[in-house]
Amino acid sequence: MAGGLIGLVLTGSAARVGVEPFFMELIAGMEEALAPAGVTVLLLVVPDLEAELATYRRWARDRTVTAVVVVNLVHDDVRPAHVAGLGLPVVLAGKHPGPFAKVVTDDAGAMTTAIETLSALGHRVVGRVSGPADLVHTAERTTAIRAAAGRRGVTVRIVEGDYSAEGGVRGLRELLAASPRPTAIVFDNDVMAVAAEQELIRSGTPVPGEVSLLACDDSPLCELAVPPLSALGTDVHEHGLTLGRAVLDLVRGEPGREHAGPLISIRQRDSTGPAPA
């Protein structure tokens, strides 16, 4: 394989995608793996599923791309079979029951680590602002955090977010209105966590003195927050490298298989502390 484009479609508003460090770092990793073969990523942001499927049809008809990477898998996702039916090789970023090449990260392990860390600090009521409920990895995280909390005697309250700053603040307010309210909150991405922390600081609520915060998707946003946010860190760049290598393997004729994504670790900073007395 020499030269070509790898298609990646993100569904949502361009403004929201533009502030998500996750996807920019993921693409950078993919580009590093693909560049020696003269391949690059063609990124397109579309408003909805219908537009995404239409994009794949157009790419296949015009032979625009050599392969496609599909992200943000949902339950009963129609996209992998749709892309494969168009004759395009496809690599999935996430779990899927079909016989596709895929790169899978340990989302369940991330939530287990979160609960173990927070319960060791004395937190007995933990909130979580999740990503969209229809995403496969959101459901996996939900199952895992409930199971881990049950083993540790921790009560978990979950509200659904949408990965946006506004969603993080809405989720924070809903959780803090509960009784008893959580002394620690886990956010499914960095943007929601940073926005929630700013809201707490504006309202005079000490972090972590009164509420501890923990983000998924560690990024420079977490490091630059005040106080710096603890995070469940996946090496997103390495994840992108693995996706890029999986694409190259597939288009070179190797059979599709499951690739393990990077390990998840917790990076403790100043936003988590012992539960208040």
- If asked whether residues 81 and 148 sit together in one domain, one would say no
Average pLDDT over residues 167-177: 98
On the question of pLDDT at 2 being above 60, the answer is: no
pLDDT of residue 12: 79
In which band, very low, low, confident or very high, does the pLDDT at 18 lie, cut at 50, 70 and 90? low
pLDDT of residue 164: 92
| 267 contacts 116 by C-beta, under 8 angstroms | no
Residue 176 in domain: yes
pLDDT of residue 21: 81
- If asked whether residues 46 and 89 sit together in one domain, one would say yes
Percent over 70 (pLDDT), the chain: 96
* Structure-model confidence comparison of residues 107 and 12, the more confident one: 107
The CATH number of residue 138's host domain is 3.40.50.2300
On the question of pLDDT at 197 being above 70, the answer is: yes
In which band, very low, low, confident or very high, does the pLDDT at 217 lie, cut at 50, 70 and 90? confident
Tens digits of per-residue pLDDT, 93-143? 999 988 999 999 999 999 999 999 999 999 999 999 999 999 999 999 999
pLDDT of residue 13: 65
**What is the extent of the structural domain holding 115?**
107-233
Residue 272 in domain: no
Residue 165 in domain: yes
- If asked whether residues 170 and 100 sit together in one domain, one would say no
- If asked whether residues 101 and 111 sit together in one domain, one would say no
| 223 contacts 269 by C-beta, under 8 angstroms | yes
Transcribe 204-222 into DSSP letters. T--TTTT-EEEEES--HHH
Average pLDDT over residues 213-226: 93
On the question of pLDDT at 67 being above 90, the answer is: yes
On the question of pLDDT at 252 being above 70, the answer is: yes
Average pLDDT over residues 43-69: 96
Q: What is the mean pLDDT of the chain?
A: 93
pLDDT of residue 19: 54
Question: What domain count does the chain have?
Answer: 2
- If asked whether residues 94 and 145 sit together in one domain, one would say no
Residue 42 in domain: yes
- If asked whether residues 125 and 223 sit together in one domain, one would say yes
Q: What is the pTM of this model?
A: 0.87
On the question of pLDDT at 86 being above 80, the answer is: yes
- If asked whether residues 227 and 212 sit together in one domain, one would say yes
Task: Determine the Cα–Cα distance for residues 191 and 189; give it in Å rounded to an integer.
Answer: 6
Sheet holding 90-93, edge to edge: 39-46, 4-11, 67-70, 90-93, 101-104, 258-260
On the question of pLDDT at 14 being above 80, the answer is: no
- If asked whether residues 74 and 167 sit together in one domain, one would say no
Average pLDDT over residues 60-78: 96
Q: How many residues does the chain have?
A: 277
Average pLDDT over residues 217-246: 93
Q: Report CA torsion sign: 54, 58, 64, 67.
A: positive
Checking DSSP bridges between strand 90-93 and strand 101-104, what pairing results, if any?
parallel
In which band, very low, low, confident or very high, does the pLDDT at 239 lie, cut at 50, 70 and 90? very high
